[in-house]
């Protein structure tokens, strides 16, 4: 089936074609400095037939010098153009731009064309491909490839030649380039330490032909990767590069690198139109191969696509709908293979991690850029299970910078960097603690990233549980983050990994850690106070999610027997006590593509207490409410106590606790973070949430706390970022302090109010 391109996609194709041309011109200008056979751009521009001059000369370079990956695609583009004035004028302008870029040598640093490509690529939003920023790539790879963590004689090229490194979703090669930089640093430092001659040309050949492997479904991105790698040493030719353009879709419903779930050799049979062709970039040309090979790896580094097929997102890009459906079926089949720990609900990122795992050697490593939902998202549970069973996390880096929660370009999603080492059956990995880095300032340059990596690898951070303070990370006089250590044996036994990346302030994480264990810890205090806590699920039942509500009801224009608390308007939801604000009408028949939910299954789950399903922490005020009567909701989880526990008194006390500083601190330490202050709370997480055990309270304590609720229930509560100055929140905390005989914990309220994820302001 022929895919019809939209106007926007046609524009993007034109932009990318122009980028391929100017990229070839830049490489030609650089190459001309090292090879007299290559003409400078000025010489080409002086000729009358510009189109023919470029096409002829690029074909000469391909045939006589090679550099096929850079010049073949560009020359093919020129062949398809006509020599009208507009085309020639545009080509001349591209050449002048290329000259200007080359004259600014700093502009050639790392992956300039990749940066431009990322801005132009229209498929990015469909494929879920968010390209790693250069500073993030630098930080991740300097940590993953720190020299003393590997049993490699870095100065020996014969040994380095055996090292295997791959990116299964390499895009324009940012992570591969950062890997090459880190490996080069290791080689040069080791050679210098032994007073050994540094052979950069030989090193480049080893890296390009042996070490680095890249895979992607976008051929244009693969060609830019080849160009970027070659630009490291343009005077050095190469026989091959292990860069593979894998097919997506087609008659065989191919899935790109996900095919490696089938094994190390992925068969790529041709269909009648050649759309399932697999291409490997070499120095002498593109090889059409029947299969793509993925070797056993020392390191796999990835920023895999993580689009999910929800909320209007489409897996597998702009392929036809019927083709996409078949591809999704095949994806689910591969992901459900025995011993494959992946969840398609989490998106393709989870599947990519599972595919990579099969090829990582014992004691090898995986270095990832993933959504922060990896740490606590229910859908990411299978990926956490995989890493818990087979790996030891070494580094966990989170951005607590409200100006940049992300490590990828073209997204505002919260992300994390993760480095983990695979266990070895022969030599068990040392159980060193996880080093968790919380960045107050997300690095904007490679220099800043290198400075952060240097501090983290040079100094030992204190333990979150038994230590004090944090390892301060500074660049010059400015503090840019904190690092702490957290026992891997503790982290991997938890339901999720969010705690060491939950907050920017390490002492706030300490307080959350102890609170989760039923103890109140305060900065500067020697002792802790015990608190009676239990999982929320032991006290009662959470109600249906929004999909169930929409599958059973619709909003009514008149009163019915089914009241609801609909929506979460920060300007209207101001107090703990609320009335239902609308009514529901049972659906007579199922909506298209959905199953009808029975009212008798949903209504018994109505409750007076509602807990926020999602929050925008910087604008909203309350995380739990008490309604005047049982109701259901679309954006709140309803909660009802078990028989024998239900009472007005307990409803009031639980609502009060959840909106206290202690309740909010525990809740935020169990959030699923989507985009900074925009957070979710899933039902399994809330069911396990530690809350005040109302069964352990005396009658007098229940009475005191219920009376405190009555005093504040109708009072307006300020937005969460203003909690430090909010008299109502202070009154809530004071009532808990008195009833439970606790020390004053106002300091935690003040610290929580300053958190970037709460107030969206930098520390």
12-71 residue pLDDT tens = 667 777 877 888 888 888 888 878 888 999 999 998 888 888 988 988 888 777 777 678
> Residue 82: its pLDDT value, please?
83
662 pLDDT higher than 90? yes
- Give CA–CA dist 146/143, Å, rounded: 5
Do residues 708 and 692 lie in contact, with contact meaning Cβ atoms separated by under 8 Å?
Answer: no
How, if at all, do strands 240-245 and 212-216 pair?
parallel
Strands (E), 531-595: 533-535, 540-542, 553-555, 563-565, 577-578, 582-586
Are 68 and 138 found together in one domain? Answer: no
What count of other Cβ atoms lies within 10 Å of the Cβ of residue 5? Answer: 13
- The CATH number for 332's domain is 3.40.50.150
**Which sign does the torsion angle of CA 672, 720, 632, 704 carry?**
positive
For residue 304, being part of any structural domain is answered with yes
Q: Do 223 and 231 touch, CB atoms closer than 8 A?
A: no
Token code pair at residue 747: 């300091």
Grade residue 658 by pLDDT with cuts at 50, 70 and 90. very high
Strand order in the sheet with 678-680: 614-616, 678-680, 672-675
Of 108, 140, 172, which residue sits at a domain end? 108
Does the residue 570 lie in any domain? yes
pLDDT beyond 50 at 312? no
**Do 168 and 257 form a contact (C-beta atoms < 8 A)?**
yes
Distance CA 178, CA 188 (A): 15
pLDDT at 279 over 60: no
Find the mean pLDDT for residues 224-241: 76
Give the list of residues 6+ apart from residue 100 with CB closer than 8 angstroms, or none: none
User: 538, 414, 498: which is closest to 668 by C-alpha?
Assistant: 498
Tell me which of 61, 79, 108 is where a domain ends: 108
Q: Can you tell me the distance from the alpha carbon of 70 to that of 263, in angstroms, rounded to the nearest whole number?
A: 30
The C-alpha R_g of the chain, in whole angstroms, comes to 29
Within-domain flag for 528: no
In the predicted structure, residue 265 carries a pLDDT above the cut 80: no
Q: Is the pLDDT of residue 356 over 60?
A: yes
Write down the pLDDT at residue 210: 93
Q: Dump pLDDT digits (tens) for 193-220.
A: 999 999 988 999 999 999 999 998 877 7
How many domains are there within the chain? 3
* Across 339-343, 512-516, 596-600, 653-657, least confident range: 339-343
CATH assignment of the domain containing 741: 3.90.220
Among 278-292, 398-412, 431-445, 571-585, whose mean pLDDT is lowest? 278-292
Whole-angstrom Cα distance, residue 691 to residue 537? 10
Strands 624-633 and 577-578 come out as parallel
Q: Which residue has the higher pLDDT, 683 or 22?
A: 683
Token pair listed for 693 = 């055990």
Give the model's pLDDT for residue 534.
97
Same domain for 143 and 53, yes or no, is no
Assess whether pLDDT exceeds 90 at residue 333. no
Nearest to residue 497, comparing CAs of 423, 551, 587, 416?
Answer: 416
Instruction: Output DSSP code: residue 537.
Output: G
Tell me which of 281 and 504 has the higher pLDDT.
504
Same domain (yes/no): 236, 269: yes
Is there a single domain that holds both residue 568 and residue 593? Answer: yes
Alpha carbon distance 254, 244 (integer Å):
14
Mean pLDDT of 294-305: 94
118 has pLDDT over 60: no
CA separation for the pair 532, 701 (Å, rounded): 12
Check whether residue 330 and residue 404 sit in a common domain.
yes
Do 428 and 564 lie in one domain? The reply is no
- Residues with Cβ within 8 Å of 634's Cβ and at least 6 positions away in sequence, in order, are 546, 549, 550, 564, 566, 567
Indicate if the pLDDT at residue 144 is higher than 80: yes
Whether residue 634 lies inside any domain: the answer is yes
Domain end point (choices 68, 93, 108) = 108
- Burial (CB count within 10 angstroms: exposed 0-12, middle 13-18, buried 19+), residue 614: middle
- Which of 119-123, 267-271, 294-298, 618-622 bottoms out in mean pLDDT, i.e. has the lowest? 267-271
Regarding whether 127 and 99 lie in a shared domain, the answer is no
Query: What is the C-alpha separation between 591 and 634, in angstroms, rounded?
Result: 17
What pLDDT score does 308 carry? 55
pLDDT at residue 358 is higher than 50: yes
Whether 395 is in a domain gets the answer yes
Q: Comparing 271-275, 475-479, 593-597, which segment has the lowest mean pLDDT?
A: 271-275
CB–CB of 54/91 below 8 Å?
yes
Query: 631: helix, coil or strand?
Result: strand
How far is the C-alpha of 225 from the C-alpha of 217, rounded, in Å?
A: 13
Region 746-762 average pLDDT = 97
| Domain shared by 50 and 176, yes or no | no
CB half-sphere exposure, 221, CA atoms < 13 A: 29
pLDDT at 117 over 60: no
Give the mean model confidence (pLDDT) for residues 582-610.
Answer: 95
User: What is the per-residue burial (b if ≥16 Cβ within 10 Å, else e) of 716-734?
Assistant: ebebbbebbebebbeebbe
Q: Strand, coil or helix: what is 91?
A: helix
Residue given tokens 């939902």 in the structure block: 373
pLDDT at site 329: 86
Query: How many angstroms separate the Cα of 692 from the Cα of each of 312, 614, 743?
Result: 39, 22, 17
Could you tell me the CA-to-CA distances from 79 to 25, 47, 239, 283, 711 in Å, in that order? 16, 18, 26, 21, 80
Which pLDDT belongs to residue 270? 32
Q: What pLDDT band is residue 96 in, cutting at 50, 70 and 90?
A: very high
Burial class for 746, CB neighbours closer than 10 Å (0-12, 13-18, 19+):
middle
The beta-carbon contacts of 317-320 under 8 Å, at least 24 apart in sequence, are: 317/123, 317/126, 317/127, 317/248, 318/3, 318/9, 318/123, 318/126, 319/3, 319/248, 319/249, 320/1, 320/3
In a domain, 511, yes or no: no
Q: Both 547 and 427 in a single domain?
A: no
Q: Is 431 helix (H, G, I), strand (E, B) or coil?
A: coil
Tell me, what's the pLDDT at 316?
64
Beta-carbon neighbour count of residue 602 at 10 Å?
21
pLDDT at residue 343 tops 60: yes
In this structure, are 132 and 95 located in the same domain?
no
pLDDT at 63: 79
Q: How far apart are CA 243 and CA 167, in angstroms?
A: 10
Following DSSP, what letter does each residue of 117-177 receive, concatenated?
Answer: HHHH-TTHHHHT--PBPHHHHHHHHHHHT-GGGS---TT-HHHHTT--EEETT-TTSHHHH
Write out pLDDT tens, residues 519-575.
999 999 887 899 999 999 999 999 999 999 999 999 998 999 999 999 999 999 999
Does residue 91 sit in the same domain as residue 129?
no
pLDDT category of residue 315 using cuts at 50, 70 and 90: low
Task: Copy the structure tokens of residue 648.
Answer: 């007005």
How many Å apart are CA 422 and CA 386, to the nearest integer?
11
Do 40 and 162 lie in a common domain?
no
The answer to the question of residue 2 being in a domain is no
On average, the pLDDT of the chain sits at 88
Q: How far apart are CA 162 and CA 152, in angstroms?
A: 10
User: What domain range is 387 assigned to?
Assistant: 115-501
Does 515 map to a domain? no
Centre a 10 Å sphere on the Cβ of residue 554 and count the other Cβ atoms it contains. Answer: 13
* Mean pLDDT value across residues 726-746: 97
């Amino acid at each position: 089936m022929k895919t019809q391109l939209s106007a926007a996609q046609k524009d993007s194709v034109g932009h990318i074609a122009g980028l391929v041309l100017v990229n070839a011109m830049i490489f030609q200008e650089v190459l001309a400095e090292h090879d007299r056979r290559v003409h400078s751009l000025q010489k080409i521009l002086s000729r009358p037939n510009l189109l023919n001059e470029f096409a002829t000369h690029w074909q000469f370079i391909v045939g006589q010098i090679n550099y096929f990956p850079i010049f073949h695609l560009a020359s093919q583009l020129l062949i398809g153009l006509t020599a009208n004035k507009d085309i020639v004028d545009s080509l001349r302008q591209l050449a002048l731009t290329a000259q200007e870029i080359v004259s600014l040598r700093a502009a050639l640093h790392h992956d300039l064309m990749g940066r431009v490509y990322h801005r132009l690529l229209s498929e990015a939003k469909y494929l879920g491909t968010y390209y790693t920023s250069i500073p993030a790539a630098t930080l991740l790879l300097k940590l993953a490839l720190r020299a003393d963590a590997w049993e490699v004689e870095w100065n020996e090229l014969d040994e380095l030649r055996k090292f295997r490194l791959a990116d299964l979703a390499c895009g324009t090669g940012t992570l591969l380039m950062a890997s090459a930089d880190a490996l080069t640093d290791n080689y040069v430092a080791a050679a210098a330490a032994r007073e050994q001659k540094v052979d950069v040309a030989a090193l480049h050949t080893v890296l390009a032909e042996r070490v680095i492997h890249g895979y992607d479904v976008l051929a244009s991105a693969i060609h830019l990767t080849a160009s970027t790698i070659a630009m490291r040493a343009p005077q050095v030719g190469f026989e091959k590069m292990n860069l593979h353009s894998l097919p997506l879709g087609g008659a065989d419903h191919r899935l790109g690198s996900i095919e490696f779930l089938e094994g190390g050799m992925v068969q790529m049979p041709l269909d009648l139109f050649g759309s399932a062709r697999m291409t490997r970039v070499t120095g002498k040309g593109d090889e059409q191969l029947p299969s793509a090979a993925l070797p056993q790896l020392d390191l796999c580094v990835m920023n895999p696509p993580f689009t999910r097929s929800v909320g209007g997102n489409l897996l597998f890009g702009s392929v036809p709908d019927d083709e996409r459906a078949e591809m999704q079926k095949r994806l689910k089949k591969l992901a459900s293979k025995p011993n494959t720990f992946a969840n398609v609900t989490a998106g393709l990122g989870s599947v990519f991690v599972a595919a990579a795992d099969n090829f990582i050697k014992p004691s090898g490593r995986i270095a990832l850029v993933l959504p922060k939902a990896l740490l606590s998202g229910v859908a990411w549970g299978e990926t956490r299970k995989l890493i818990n069973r087979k790996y030891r996390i070494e580094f966990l880096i989170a951005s607590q910078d409200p100006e940049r929660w992300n490590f990828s370009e073209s997204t505002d999603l919260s992300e994390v960097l993760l480095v983990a080492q695979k266990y070895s059956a022969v030599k068990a990995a040392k159980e060193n603690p996880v080093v968790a880095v919380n960045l107050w300032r997300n690095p904007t340059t490679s220099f800043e990233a290198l400075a952060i990596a240097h501090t983290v690898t040079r100094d030992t951070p204190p333990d979150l549980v038994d230590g004090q303070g944090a390892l301060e990370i500074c660049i010059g006089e400015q503090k840019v983050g904190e690092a702490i250590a957290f026992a891997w044996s503790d982290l991997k036994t938890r339901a999720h990994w969010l705690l060491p990346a939950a907050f920017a302030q390490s002492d706030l994480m300490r307080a959350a850690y102890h609170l989760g264990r039923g103890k109140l810890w305060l900065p500067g205090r020697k002792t802790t106070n015990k608190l009676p806590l239990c999982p929320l699920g032991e006290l009662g039942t959470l109600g249906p999610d929004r999909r169930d509500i929409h599958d059973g009801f619709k909003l009514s224009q008149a009163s019915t027997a089914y009241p609801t608390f609909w929506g979460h308007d920060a300007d209207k939801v101001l107090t703990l006590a609320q009335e239902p604000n609308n009514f529901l009408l049972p659906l007579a028949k199922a909506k298209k593509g959905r199953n009808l939910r029975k009212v008798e299954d949903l209504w018994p789950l109505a409750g007076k207490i509602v807990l926020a399903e999602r929050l925008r922490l910087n604008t909203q005020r309350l995380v739990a409410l008490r309604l005047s009567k049982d109701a259901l909701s679309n954006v709140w989880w309803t909660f009802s106590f078990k028989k024998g526990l239900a009472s007005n008194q307990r409803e009031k006390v639980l609502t009060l606790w959840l909106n206290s500083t202690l309740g909010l601190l525990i809740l935020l330490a169990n959030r699923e973070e989507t985009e900074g202050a925009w957070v979710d709370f899933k039902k399994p997480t809330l069911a396990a949430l530690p809350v005040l055990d109302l069964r352990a309270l005396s009658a007098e304590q229940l009475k005191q706390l219920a009376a405190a609720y009555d005093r504040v229930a109708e009072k307006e509560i300020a937005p969460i970022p203003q909690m430090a100055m909010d008299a109502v929140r202070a009154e809530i905390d004071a009532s808990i302090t008195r009833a439970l005989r606790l020390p004053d914990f106002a300091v935690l309220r003040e610290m929580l109010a300053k958190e970037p994820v709460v107030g969206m302001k930098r520390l």
